[in-house]
Amino acid sequence: MRIFENTFRLCVVITLSTFLLSACSTMTKEENNQARTTAEGMGIGAIIGGALGVILGDNKESAAIGATIGGIVGGVAGSVVSEQKDQYAAQEAKLEVETEKTAKLVAEVKQVNDGLRSNIAGYQEEKAELEAQISTGHNKHRELQTLHSKVQSQKKQANLALANVTKNLQGANKNLQIAQADYAKQQKQASRDKSRYDDKKKREGSGDDKKLKALENQVAALEREKNSLENYADELSALGAALSR
């Protein structure tokens, strides 16, 4: 009879706790994240605490006390997991901001490089035409000097842009290193956390890894554009030297 009563009480505790968890599952994504996670923790704690109360005690009060204690402990654990969720959300938002900012810079530098490539081609063509006219006896030295001045001015602008891009690239790399360290720390924490939330993140793949990859791609693109800008600055320097002869 004692075994039957204990079994019945255990079934009641599990039924009530299951109802609590099912209520949690009906919450929408827009509802408070911490309240949901804490409720989930309390439901799981109630199952464990209630079961222990039934097994260790011999009356309804034992089960109730066990469920209450389990709910409190579970609620605390749920609150901790909720804080981790907030950290994940903050990390993802930070990655998105950095990626967007870097992508915008990449587009700006690419535009500068496109302009330089076009201008350099035009300078080289004009230089060739002036030199051809000079070789046939035409006095085009003043035009050649004017071209030299334009090239020198463009070179200064290119070097200024290069200095700014180099500085921004250093900042982007630093932000990327911070993001990578935060991501590694987050993954380490998630591997220790056995909650349903983190297990789900592991199965689906954290959104952070895709966002981190996107940031890495943009920083790499900025590096490429910076190298192109450096090459164009060198071309302008060589062209200026040739025009000064």
Predicted confidence (pLDDT) per residue in 129-179, tens digit: 999 999 999 999 999 999 999 999 999 999 999 999 999 999 999 999 999
Nearest to 51 by CA among 28, 25, 18: 18
Summarised one tens digit per residue, pLDDT across range 185-215 is 888 877 776 554 555 555 444 567 889 999 9
The pLDDT of residue 113 is above 90: yes
Output the pLDDT for position 71: 45
Output the pLDDT for position 183: 86
The winner for highest mean pLDDT among 7-11, 49-53, 192-196 is 192-196
Output the pLDDT for position 93: 87
Residue 66 is encoded by which pair of tokens? 């066990």
Contact between 213 and 139 (Cβ < 8 Å): no
Q: What percent of the chain has pLDDT over 90?
A: 47
Rounded CA separation 48/197 (Å):
19
Output the pLDDT for position 38: 45
**Among the ranges given (9-18, 85-94, 108-117, 223-232), the one the predictor scored with the smallest mean pLDDT:** 9-18
Mean pLDDT of 57-66: 49
Output the pLDDT for position 111: 95
Output the pLDDT for position 164: 95
Integer CA distances (angstroms), 45 to 48, 70, 185, 192, in order: 5, 4, 27, 19
Q: How confident is the model at residue 52 (pLDDT cuts 50, 70, 90)?
A: very low
Mean pLDDT of 92-101: 90
